[in-house]
């Protein structure tokens, strides 16, 4: 397995990625969108009770010709940190340089 160059992507997103974000934002989970010669891995952590939560990439590895494993974790706000008292929906979009990518996502 080899580490893969990947890119954490910010808005503006391709339209298909924006649609995928709407689906995983509240429910959590992940999906893969193929656009612009890349595979966009769209990950949502679901509903969190306050702001300050984020999804952090631990590892992106190539496990075969078009196979990738993406490992992420949900990082809570630091103890004692000021946080918005509003429900939040942390998301992350990662672009892989292979539009045919078959992606396994592990969220912890």
pLDDT tens, per residue, the chain with 108 residues: 677 788 899 999 999 999 999 999 999 999 999 999 999 999 999 999 999 999 999 999 999 999 999 999 999 999 988 888 899 999 999 999 999 999 999 999
pLDDT value of residue 32: 97
Query: Token digits for 2?
Result: 């080899």
pLDDT value of residue 84: 85
Question: How far is residue 105's CA from residue 60's CA, in Å, rounded to a whole number?
Answer: 9
Task: Please check whether residue 31 is in contact with residue 93, taking contact to mean a CB–CB distance below 8 angstroms.
Answer: no
pTM of the full predicted structure? Answer: 0.91
pLDDT value of residue 1: 60
Q: What is the CA angle 22-95-7, rounded to 5?
A: 120
Cβ-in-10-Å burial (0-12, 13-18, 19+) of 98 comes to middle
């Amino acid at each position: 397995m080899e580490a893969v160059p990947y890119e954490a992507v910010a808005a503006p997103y391709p339209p298909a990625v924006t649609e995928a974000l709407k689906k995983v934002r509240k429910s959590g989970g992940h999906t893969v969108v193929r656009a612009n010669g890349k595979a966009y891995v769209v990950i949502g952590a679901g509903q969190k009770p306050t702001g300050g939560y984020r999804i952090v990439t631990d590892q992106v590895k190539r496990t075969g010709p078009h196979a990738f494993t993406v490992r992420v974790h949900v990082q809570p706000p630091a103890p004692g940190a000021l946080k918005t008292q509003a429900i939040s929906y942390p998301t992350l979009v990662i672009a892989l340089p292979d539009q045919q990518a078959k992606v396994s996502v592990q969220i912890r």
